[in-house]
Structure 1
Amino acid sequence: MGVPKRKSSKQRGRQRRAANMKLEVPALVNCPQCHALVMPHHLCPECGYYKDREVVATK
């Protein structure tokens, strides 16, 4: 089994961890009712519809 020859520095470990930290754009789909951008499997804040039926009445 491979054993490190020297102690790895704090900077090297932090760089390795930070390589996977990135911001991701949320996935958005069009609402079938009002065509506003909505996160998938979420209630539409514009019209209150979810899966082709009104869940929350909007003013």
Structure 2
Amino acid sequence: MADDPNKKDFRDRDRVAADQDYEVRYFAEENGISEEQTRELIAKHGNMREDLEREAKKLRQA
């Protein structure tokens, strides 16, 4: 069952779902990277938000 963007609680705040366009878009905008870069980071580093934020910061600094 797909995530419902209207349900907001703590259960998966620590993850970014690569198959949910709105989550990828939000993460990309929030971190100043493209949606494609976000998907590449998820593929390489997994979907834990903390790890992705760290890697996105490295991308912005490069």
Range class of TM-score, shorter chain: under 0.3
More strand by proportion, 1 or 2? 1
The structure with the larger Rg is: 1
Name the structure, 1 or 2, with higher relative contact order (CA <8 Å, separation 6+): 2
Compute the TM-score of the two structures, normalised by the length of structure 2. Answer: 0.22
Give TM-score scaled by structure 1 length. Answer: 0.23
Structure that is richer in helix per residue: 2
